[in-house]
Amino acid sequence: MSKQKGKDWEAYLDYDDEYADSVYEQSELLAKRTRKSRPKPQSDNRVSGIVVRALGHHFDVRTDAQADPGVPNQTRLCEVRRRLRQEKSTDTLVAVGDRVWVVPEGESGGRIEEVEERTSVLSRQRPGMEALAEDVILANPDQVLVVFAIEQPEPHLRMLDRFLVIAEFNELPAIICVNKVDLASLAKAKEIFGLYEQIGYRVVYASAETGLGVDELRQLLLDCTTVLTGPSGVGKSSLINAIAPALALDVGALRDFMQKGRHTTRTAHLLPLPYGDKTYVADTPGIRELGLYDIDPADLGFYFIEMEPYVNECRFPNCTHDHEPQCAVRAAVEQGAIDAERYESYLRLLHGEE
């Protein structure tokens, strides 16, 4: 080998060593990045909880008292683990009512590591998006409690029908509470609301003043997440105070309590009742302000439970039950099998009237 060739060979050896070192360093860097990106094993100190309030990108989580002792009000302010945020789709990642697993951080902080599968939702199409995207207002509700008063204010049954349609659309059992029976009479209350018992709804006649129906309501709310709704002034705060006196809510203050810390008007807030770790009420604007725009007019009849058995008996499969010939629903109305006032309520909703 010539002297020149020897120099070339030495240079090649030097280059090869540098290249090998470079490849090794890059391999190590890639390995570190890979190890860093791998999902970390689940932490042993995770505690379970339920999201009771949304605060922008943070969430109040009420944790299990036995697994997470000594936390003020049993509530941790939590953020969502980055890996979960990276997996976010157009649907709601974390919602009030979600059951989650949290890694505690400090005395009252935490990080949401896992969101359990939802069993039910009160939701709508996400506003402003044409693609299918679910906007979850409340996760895992068990039922809806619709409160109306027999007087002060006078009951508006068309509004009640709207609430019931929304509950049926979201596949949530609905209970009707008729409050302030002491201002009139039980007979008058049953005369107005008895129809709803006849078609299959549970109706509770109550008075926060006298205690009528309070024990029945307490049993119905036990170990459930209940969406509480109804017009203003019907006595929802008074009923909650009668059911759980220890809360001592100011009359008319349930809405104010739920408003604390809100960032959007659609956010729900769970209020724990002192009857076990699974008893909550949610006073949410969702069911009040939730429009019927998500419901196909052709399907509206299915959400009037007394009409549902007839809707597939019509001559035309796309029957609106308004004017079409040989309509089984209108025939049932004429025969008295469907109440005429409820049918009128259906038509008003169908045509977008109040």
Percent of the chain exceeding pLDDT 70 equals: 75
Please give the model's pTM, rounded to 2 decimal places.
0.78
Answer yes or no: are the C-beta atoms of 295 and 241 closer than 8 Å: no
User: Which segment, 4-18, 38-52, 164-178, is predicted with the most confidence on average?
Assistant: 164-178
Give me the domains of the chain, ranges plus CATH numbers: 47-117 (2.40.50.140), 137-289 (3.40.50.300), 297-350 (1.10.40.50)
Interval 30-58: pLDDT, tens: 454 444 444 444 556 899 999 999 988 89
Planar angle of CA 250, 253, 257, nearest 5 degrees = 120
CA 115/CA 81 separation, integer angstroms: 11
Helix, strand, coil abundance in the chain, percent, nearest 5: 35, 20, 40
pLDDT (0 to 100) of residue 127? 59
Question: Is pLDDT larger for residue 229 or for residue 130?
Answer: 229
Q: What does the block give as tokens for 279? A: 């008893």
Q: What does the block give as tokens for 216? A: 């029945």
Lowest mean pLDDT among 59-63, 79-83, 219-223, 260-264: 260-264
CA 279/CA 180 separation, integer angstroms: 24
Residue 267 has pLDDT above 70, yes or no: no
User: CA of 332: how far to CAs of 136, 301, 309, 328, in Å?
Assistant: 37, 13, 10, 6
Band (pLDDT 50/70/90 cuts) for residue 70 is: confident
For the chain, give the mean pLDDT. 82
Tokens 């099998």 belong to residue:
337
Planar angle of CA 92, 96, 99, nearest 5 degrees = 90
pLDDT (0 to 100) of residue 65? 81
Cis peptide before 141 (omega within 30 of 0): no
Mean pLDDT of 128-157: 86
- The number of CA neighbours under 13 Å toward the Cβ of 247 is 21
CA 343/CA 329 separation, integer angstroms: 9
Planar angle of CA 92, 95, 100, nearest 5 degrees = 110
pLDDT (0 to 100) of residue 265? 37
Residue 288 has pLDDT above 60, yes or no: yes
Band (pLDDT 50/70/90 cuts) for residue 137 is: confident
CA 2/CA 10 separation, integer angstroms: 12
Identify the three-state secondary structure at position 334: helix
The helix or strand, by DSSP H or E, that contains position 17, with its residue range, turns out to be helix 3-37
Question: Is pLDDT larger for residue 122 or for residue 130?
Answer: 122
pLDDT (0 to 100) of residue 232? 86
Lowest mean pLDDT among 122-126, 142-146, 147-151, 194-198: 122-126
Residue 83 has pLDDT above 80, yes or no: no
- The number of CA neighbours under 13 Å toward the Cβ of 320 is 10
CA 143/CA 170 separation, integer angstroms: 10
Tokens 């010539």 belong to residue:
2
CA 132/CA 353 separation, integer angstroms: 26
pLDDT (0 to 100) of residue 128? 60
Q: What does the block give as tokens for 227? A: 């969406």
User: Which segment, 12-21, 66-75, 93-102, is predicted with the most confidence on average?
Assistant: 93-102
Name the β-bridge partners of 80.
112
Backbone phi and psi for residue 261, each to the nearest 5 degrees, phi listed first: 75, 10
Name the β-bridge partners of 99.
50
